[in-house]
Amino acid sequence: MKNNWFCPNCGQPMEAQRHVDNATGQTTWSIGCLNPKHFHTRGYINAAIAEIQLGKLLRQ
C-alpha cells in the first residue's frame, strides 16, 4: 500500500489481504483492521483500487 491506514474504530494499522476463489481462481483484495469486527473494504480486483476506495470511504 502507498499509505499507512489506521482503523477508525481502534487506531491499529490496517493491512491489505489477498483472497483467491478456489473455484474460479479469481483474486480479490481487501483492506481492513486485524480485528474482524472492525472496518474492512469489500473485495477489489487489485490492491491499488482497494486503497483508492478505502480513501474514499474514510473521507465520507
Q: 3: which residues sit within 8 A by CB, 6+ positions away? A: 51, 55
pLDDT digits (tens, 9 = 90+) for 9-46: 999 999 999 999 899 989 999 999 999 899 888 889 98
Asked if 16 and 26 touch (Cβ cutoff 8 Å), the reply is no
Mean pLDDT of 45-54: 88
pTM passes above 0.75 = no
| Distance from C-alpha of 10 to C-alpha of 7, rounded to nearest angstrom | 6
